[in-house]
Chain A
Amino acid sequence: MNAIPQLFFDAMSLGGIYAMAALGIALIFGVMKLVNFAHGEYIAFCVFALIVPSTDAVAVMFLGKAPAFLLIPTLLLIGAAVAVASEFFVFRHMRNATPVAMMISSFALGFVIQNILLVVFSSRPKAVSLWPELNQPVSIAGASIPLLQLIVILSTLIVVVTLAVLLKRTRIGLEMRAAAENFTMARLLGVRANVVITGAFALSGALAAAVALIMVTQTGVADIRMGGQIMLVAFIATVIGGLGSLPGAVAAGFLIGAASVILQGFLPLEARPFRDAFLFTLVIVSLLLRPEGLFAPRSSKPRV
């Protein structure tokens, strides 16, 4: 058994999840300066969309029964729809509000979504078995890696590359990047604010769905609290990466994944339960050292 490759794969797959979740938050911040605390609840919503509403401890698959080629695009669409709906019902009416007011209302929205899940599914965590065969180990470089970890890493790569291509090569991507840099100027050139913002929310929601799929396959649990946990970490990755910077969000997501795996691996046994406390302390320290984000270039905003 070789510990180093094992750690490496753990860090990469955890970091991949964080990176994708952070991307979803960074995308929205970049376009409309909204710190979207509801993002974690989009993820939770997508997880619960897989199962039949019930209060039982073992979940009966609903959408989760569908074959992968149907399930994946449908769930991505559901994620996009939830995010777009939240923009339509909440944030659209706050275009002139301060970023702080928008941040607070996203916090409230997250609570609303979470409690809707609570009403429908109860607070009891549920065992969900989606694609259990993916948890089989394969052996690489002397380490025994669950197949799923490889898939997570691979899908992160695919998602990041797809997103990059989308932003770089499509019309809506161009408009989003222009709007993220200077919304007024983009509008003066005919870029439709609503289209760009809806597009950003759709992408962000689809990213949330991707995270949901990976998390539920990996952990096998659907818990209404899962959104809050992942949101906090992803959110912090977004900040460290430099709010609104997409490459920064990805890099910071991986960094936090690595840091938490390393802390978990090397902290003394009795300190391990406190891992997250160390992690969040690191976050404050890094904010203090580079308030604009570790990966944000000094003067200009980073390229996508």
Chain B
Amino acid sequence: MSKLGVFDVSVRYGKVPALTDVSFTVEEGERMFISGPNGAGKSSLLKAICGAVPTTHGRIEVDGDMLNGRSPEVIARLGLTMVPEGREIFGTLTVEENLRVGTGIRPDKPAVETDIDEVYQSFPILGERRHTNAGALSGGQQQMLAIGRGLMTNPKLMLVDEPSLGLAPNIVDQVYDTLVNLQNDRGLTLIIVEQSSARAARVGGRMVLLRGGSVVGDGDAAKFAESDLLKEAYFGQNKAEDAT
């Protein structure tokens, strides 16, 4: 059984369609990138999966469990976490409090403390500033905090929306190193929205290409980086073919 199944999912905001009949499946432990131009529906897709926006059509499953119509807090309990676009950290809470918000759903309380230490090891700056208000962190530090906060829920499936946005290249490397290490250590399934195909190719994994709310490509990220498909998805007029 796939870790995540998305079948014919549509989302609309009022009358504006954001996604139309999107389908794909993700296997356990897989790393998948989602790419596509601005407004393609990448963020909407992640939000639909984690229950933050309702679907108007289709089915979403985690481990065969149907997610449609469940509230975000229930979905979070199935081991699914989201690092949203724009970070959305709690600015009035301290760094450490931010990390603890999502630990309420964990049955393994003792492991929480070791996990916090682990986050601080991955991102030492967070450890240094653990008692300051998160609102006072720089954008990059907030991104690290948002990832750390997601990890603290001890997820099996993690959705990360544009982790590289607004970060210096070396920090992006660091963020990806951390994500990949975590994935290797914990067998995490990762879905990452990433605009840079070069970056996705370097990190390696599968890539799903969205455009105008539909899947227009699905295949190996490295292959995408070489093909014209990406360019077409971003700039082209005609619908691209499947890359696989």
Q: Are A and B in direct contact (Cβ within 8 Å)?
A: yes
Task: Mark A residues whose CB is within 8 Å of B.
Answer: 171, 174-175, 177-178, 181-182, 184-193, 300-304
Contact A182 B88, beta carbon cutoff 8 Å: yes
- With known contacts A174-B97, A185-B84, A190–B92 Cβ distance under 8 A: no
Residues on B with beta carbons closer than 8 Å to the beta carbon of A192: 73
Task: Mark B residues whose CB is within 8 Å of A.
Answer: 50-52, 71-73, 76-77, 81-82, 84, 88, 90-93, 97, 100-102, 104-105, 133, 135, 149, 153
- Which residue of the partner chain A has the closest CB to B136? A300
Contact A300 B104, beta carbon cutoff 8 Å: no
Residues on A with beta carbons closer than 8 Å to the beta carbon of B81: 188-189
Contact B101 A175, beta carbon cutoff 8 Å: yes
What is the distance, in angstroms, from A304's C-beta to the closest C-beta of chain B? 7
From A174, A177, A188, A193, contact of B50 by CB (8 A):
A188
B72, B82, B102, B105 — most chain A CB neighbours (10 Å)? B72
From B50, B72, B133, contact of A303 by CB (8 A):
B133
From B88, B97, B104, contact of A190 by CB (8 A):
B104
Contact B101 A191, beta carbon cutoff 8 Å: yes
**What are 29 residue pairs bridging A and B, where the CB atoms are less than 8 Å apart in the complex?**
A174-B93, A174-B101, A175-B101, A175-B104, A177-B90, A177-B92, A177-B93, A178-B90, A178-B101, A181-B90, A181-B93, A182-B88, A185-B84, A186-B101, A187-B52, A187-B72, A188-B81, A189-B76, A189-B102, A190-B73, A190-B76, A190-B77, A190-B102, A190-B153, A191-B101, A191-B104, A192-B73, A302-B92, A303-B133
From B71, B92, B149, B153, contact of A181 by CB (8 A):
B92
CA–CA, A192 and B90, complex, Å: 16
CA–CA, A190 and B82, complex, Å: 11
- Which residue of the partner chain B has the closest CB to A196? B73
- Which residue of the partner chain A has the closest CB to B75? A188
- Which residue of the partner chain B has the closest CB to A302? B92
Residues on B with beta carbons closer than 8 Å to the beta carbon of A304: 92
Residues on B with beta carbons closer than 8 Å to the beta carbon of A178: 90, 93, 97, 101
What is the distance, in angstroms, from B102's C-beta to the closest C-beta of chain A? 4
Residues on A with beta carbons closer than 8 Å to the beta carbon of B50: 188
Contact A187 B92, beta carbon cutoff 8 Å: no
What is the distance, in angstroms, from A119's C-beta to the closest C-beta of chain B? 39
Contact B97 A188, beta carbon cutoff 8 Å: no
Residues on B with beta carbons closer than 8 Å to the beta carbon of A184: 52, 72
CA–CA, A178 and B104, complex, Å: 12
Residues on B with beta carbons closer than 8 Å to the beta carbon of A181: 90-93
Residues on B with beta carbons closer than 8 Å to the beta carbon of A303: 92, 133
Contact A188 B93, beta carbon cutoff 8 Å: no
Contact B90 A185, beta carbon cutoff 8 Å: yes
Contact B84 A188, beta carbon cutoff 8 Å: yes
CA–CA, A187 and B92, complex, Å: 17
- With known contacts A175-B101, A175-B104, A187–B90 Cβ distance under 8 A: no
- Which residue of the partner chain B has the closest CB to A186? B101
Residues on A with beta carbons closer than 8 Å to the beta carbon of B100: 174
CA–CA, A192 and B75, complex, Å: 11
Residues on A with beta carbons closer than 8 Å to the beta carbon of B101: 174-175, 178, 186, 189, 191
Contact A300 B135, beta carbon cutoff 8 Å: yes
Contact B153 A301, beta carbon cutoff 8 Å: no
A182, A190, A304 — most chain B CB neighbours (10 Å)? A190
Residues on A with beta carbons closer than 8 Å to the beta carbon of B97: 174, 177-178
CA–CA, A178 and B101, complex, Å: 7
Contact B91 A187, beta carbon cutoff 8 Å: no
CA–CA, A304 and B90, complex, Å: 13
Query: A174-B101, A177-B90, A182-B90 provided; 7 other pairs, C-beta below 8 A?
Result: A185-B88, A187-B72, A188-B52, A188-B82, A189-B149, A191-B101, A191-B104
CA–CA, A47 and B209, complex, Å: 64
CA–CA, A269 and B84, complex, Å: 61
CA–CA, A302 and B100, complex, Å: 20
- Which residue of the partner chain B has the closest CB to A185? B88
CA–CA, A181 and B91, complex, Å: 8
Residues on A with beta carbons closer than 8 Å to the beta carbon of B92: 177, 181, 300-304
What is the distance, in angstroms, from B231's C-beta to the closest C-beta of chain A? 34
What is the distance, in angstroms, from B214's C-beta to the closest C-beta of chain A? 25
Residues on B with beta carbons closer than 8 Å to the beta carbon of A175: 101, 104
- Which residue of the partner chain A has the closest CB to B159? A188
B90, B91, B153 — most chain A CB neighbours (10 Å)? B90
CA–CA, A178 and B91, complex, Å: 9
CA–CA, A175 and B88, complex, Å: 15
- With known contacts A177-B92, A181-B90, A301-B92, A187–B71 Cβ distance under 8 A: yes
